[in-house]
Amino acid sequence: MTAPLTPPPHDNSAHQVRQAPPPAGGPGAGAYEQDGPGMKTELREAAVTTVVVALGGVLLGLLWWWLAPHVPLVADEIGKNWVVYVKDTEGEQAVGVDGTFTLLGLAFGLVSAVVVFLLRRRGGVPLVVALALGGLLGSLLAWRLGMWLGPESDVLAHARAVGKGVTFSAPLKLSAKGALLAWPLAGLLVHLGLTALFGPRDPEAPVD
């Protein structure tokens, strides 16, 4: 009686297919490469947004110089000294100067936030930071431009030039420096609100 013949085991080691490493352009590498340029694109867009929003400060400065009320001053010469004082001590022109800048800053923050949201609905942290930073730089630019366009900053020299008892306008200045934050805060809040209400939604996870 002979034992059943069993076929010898096949050595498949020579025929085994070894898994090649994923190519450079494979799915994993592609996703990694997309993250890099994506962030670079966001930073580039944020830089452009900052510059464009900040340049809007030129228009804000012009409007502030044009719409802000003038504070009337009058000078008197006592001996050899010049004394300058506010002509209307009960007037609210000085408060109106700060209020005008604040209201204009709020309006510019609203408009800039809406424009940025409409141009790029996806948003992102760099874009929000750029909007706030651009608004702050724009406010600073508007403040300095309005002061430069306004009346003479040297009050005594201006008083001597116009003469004693002649009414002239005080320099355009911002007493409440907190008004510089009106634009960036308004832009930030409006943009966050628009993103929360009308921004793209993340797809919901499928329910098992």
Alpha carbon distances (Å) from 62 to 7, 104, 138, 142, 181 = 96, 11, 12, 7, 18
Confidence of residue 36 (pLDDT cuts 50, 70, 90): very low
pLDDT for the residue numbered 105:
97
* CA 135/CA 185 separation, integer angstroms: 8
Mean pLDDT (the chain, rounded): 81
pTM score of the predicted model: 0.75
pLDDT for the residue numbered 21:
52
Question: Which residue from 33, 162, 24, 146 is spatially nearest to 87, judged by alpha carbons?
Answer: 162
In the chain, the amino acid numbered 136 is: L
pLDDT at 39 over 90: no
Percentage of the chain lying above the pLDDT 70 cut: 76
Please name the residues in contact with 182: beta carbons below 8 A apart, sequence gap of 6 or more: 101, 102, 103, 105, 106, 109, 139
pLDDT for the residue numbered 1:
46
> Average pLDDT of 134-144?
97
Residue bearing the bigger pLDDT, 85 or 46: 46
Greatest C-alpha distance within the chain: 145
pLDDT for the residue numbered 62:
97
pLDDT for the residue numbered 188:
94
pLDDT for the residue numbered 165:
76
SS3 5: coil
Confidence of residue 35 (pLDDT cuts 50, 70, 90): very low
Confidence of residue 201 (pLDDT cuts 50, 70, 90): low
